[in-house]
Structure 1
Amino acid sequence: MSSTTPPSADAGAQFLAERAAIEAAERQSAIELEAAAREQRERLVAEVNALPALPGVYRYFDAKDDVLYVGKAKDLKRRVSSYFQKNHGGSRIGMMVARIARMETTVVRTEAEALLLENNLIKTLNPRFNILFRDDKSYPYLKITSHAYPRMTYYRGAVDKRHQYFGPFPSAWAVKESIQLMQKVFRLRTCEDSVFNNRSRPCLLHQIKRCSGPCVPAGQTGEYARDVRSAEAFLRGETDEVMASLQLQMGAYAERFEYELAAEVRNQIQALSKVLQQQVVEESSATGRDRDVDILAVKVQGGKACVNLAMVRGGRHLGDRAFFPKHVDDATAVRLDDEDALSPERQVLEAFMAQHYLAAPVPGLIVVSEAVDAGLAEALGAQGGSRVTVQAQPRGQRRIWLEMCVKGGELALARLLAEEGSQQARTRALIEALDLSVTEIDNFRIECFDISHTAGEATMASCVVFEGHQMQSSQYRRYNIEGITGGDDYAAMRQVLTRRYSKMAEAAQLGTGRLPDLVLVDGGRGQVSMAREVFVELGLDLGLIAGVEKGEGRKVGLEELVFADGREKVYLGRDSAALMLIAQIRDEAHRFAITGMRAKRAATRTGGSRLEDVPGVGPKKRAQLLQRFGGVRGVAGASVDELASVKGVSRELAEEIYRALH
């Protein structure tokens, strides 16, 4: 009688065989990966061994060709080899080195050149393991125009050599404060040229003695030019010369028995003296190199860093401005130095100075809270074309400036840490209140939509983005809504959501895009129903949608959240941290929508910028332009050559008009 193997035994044997095959394949794959990693490592080491012992910059890239790190070295071979000749274990350096797939190097002539190139590349490439300062805002200046009766104004942008510029100032507030001071002491005009050219009598500023009234013949005297020269001298820090000139002027008026004019100059002297007494900088100390000084203080705490920049210009302390870099923890951990281990404070400060002064003007003296590399001053001097001194242990007045700057930096960093803590608490509270499944709270993303119009005119939709516990203004978008009945907010919401998410849905399905974790619409059931229709058509998860519905009596704090997936309404509570976050995002969407709508409405009604605001276009030229082209829209549609063909309109003025209306 023959025997047969039971079916269960055959299945068990097959399972064991398949498992053995899988394990063998995994072992083979691991061997191949290890061999590939070893080969890659050997290739990198060979490249390192071939490097010259010269100054230069090196870049590390990962397998996706993303930049990991940019560094400089006075000896490329020694510096780069230190990354590969040591076992860094599971430290951040080890994590970075393990990810290096290839590298690039650039040889330069000096260490100063290497420093400048390194920080140019850091700002351009945004490496993961470098300290990075982002400052996309240009600095404001006080501008005095080249005019027969110069105008004083706030200015930000490219410098025109025809005019005088004073600064830079750390903030718009500092410029405006200086303008008010100039008005009180020197009574310079601030009005637009178009207003100035068409005045028949002085304005209110003249009545309250804030302007000498050069817009009318009575004010068009030599005294105005003298006041302009005095104001320019004061802004350059020549306060002694200005005071002496005013005193001589007062004496001359008194000798001629012009006592009213002498009294006016006396009032100027008193106002100027009061301002100088209020300044932290003493007149005696604000001479020579102390007239233009930057003071830098650094503070590192809780994985965050702050560099506080205080500015002294013309001997006057103009205030300070705080900067907060990215990647502090990773960057300070991977920084290697063959001679000394740099403190995090020094690393942050050196990174700031190198990156900040690539674009900003460099004063002759920089006072710092931490000693920095001596080559940094040399590099900054080469960049600016003049000698730069960096002082780490100041005395006297400079020490007072530094102590003020250090205190300002400590307060700014403490404020940032407190704000970040509260924002994270709000984010977590919202996630928990809505029972959302979020794996990484730091990447939690909300997009919020609002519709704005005026009685159906100039309909505008806004989309604002909240991510990383803060509003991301660079990702905001506005949408012009067209092809709907004026005032139909539901149709407007349908249009903006379709435009926003149709391509995004396709990308998400292909695994190349990411949808937000929550979509907020400013409105109740009607707006949510419209959003639901759009998401159903696009095949998107209805659980993403929530509407912010006004509470009883539309009172703040009584809002409820309405959902598209059938869940019950949620009332978060007046004092809820989650509601505070919702309100913040909703209000920002409303603000962004309404400002866009107003701009669109103004453009619709006037055809862009107003012709009256263009310098050099008075009533007569304006009438000629409007008559020639049939209105503002026609002027806006004309070319520069067509505008220049109008009698009295020069080529330069035609270009100004064209720029203003486009």
Structure 2
Amino acid sequence: MRKLPTKPGVYIFKDEKGKVLYVGKAKDLRKRVTSYFKSHALDAKTLRLVSEAKSLEHIVVASEIEAFLLESRLIKKYRPFFNIIFVDDKTYAILEINKKPIPYVVISRKMGNKNAVYFGPFTGITDLKIVLRLLRKIFPYQSVKTHSPKRCLYYHLGLCPCVTAYPENLPQYKKNIKSLISFFSGGKDKVIKSLRKEQDEYVKKEEFEEAGKVQKKIDRVAFITQENYDPFKYEEKPDFYFERIRAEVSSLAEISNKYGLNVGDLHRIECYDISNISGKNATGSMVVFINGDADKSLYRRFKIKFKKTPDDFAMHREVLQRRVKRDDWEKPNLIVIDGGKGQVSTALRVLAEANYQVPIIGLAKREETIVIPIKTGRELDFIEVKLPHSTPGVNLLRRLRDEAHRFAITYHRLLRKKSSAL
């Protein structure tokens, strides 16, 4: 059990003949699987599962939503005995997307409507509702079969197009339904590609406000799935998670070396971010990726001590000064700064003052631009590299940046909560 990763994924119990007995998902594979063997409060069905299971397989994925979708696909494929009896003779939840005449999206228990597309079965109706709640903010949809001709509450919340009240919304609404179907079919990249095409059309017409709305949809799709990969590839290649990690590391090394950083082996990468509100309860974070994968045991957080006003450069300076003094921490092969030229310049000065030689790059938030410092004679200059979002190395940088941001803001909220309680 100790060899299981503490990552999201799907686990599969099999009997002595290799037949699939049960498929489950987990936010933390090790913790979830271990609970089957450590808990003293297991019901009779679970005890029977544990006694009959002779082998265990697992597939690591990048996010809980990927685990949710993959679990559903594997249950549909194998129809495991214990998945069926664990629902107490009830049928699993099925997502129904009816396409005619006015589309609607509902959770059902059976299939049979010729005008509908079905997805599932899903073991947890709560999980399905959470995913739908997230997606509805991006692609508003009608959640009842017959809608009132009047505006509903969800329309005012931006969650329903109310086509019966506003027929002119139907063309855009059909695009939303198409995107939902693509998403649940495992085509997240297809959804984003379609949205980018729609955004380009608005830009050509100089309808920048509408283009901005589409960009928010793109950002939200990327956020809830975390990474630009098809979750169903895990079924074809159970080691796909690790393959893509290796590809990301190799890609980032290639990008870095191309622009003169000479990083060599990217065994350890550190990424830094700052979080504060008007300088108050300011925090810094250091996240560490080993061979392209997060190692949370090596994360460190910093409470900013010397700056009480908003100054991102000074705060980065303080965090890095404290970091380079730690000889007991392994030296990184690359440092990534969440920011642009100013933040990277600050980091370079700190390292130069400490004679701490490590390559540095930045990732600017606005356009996901990679900021690479170069020296032209005695002068310091920067190359700004804009690569496609699908580039594996860019995805690794985004994962680093997003994790550093999450870790910093979590500590900032903790400090803010403590200060407000005083």
What TM-score, normalized by structure 2, do the two folds share? 0.47
Give the structure with the larger helix fraction: 1
Larger radius of gyration: 1
The answer to which structure, 1 or 2, has the higher relative contact order (CA under 8 A, 6+ apart) is 2
Give the structure with the larger strand fraction: 2
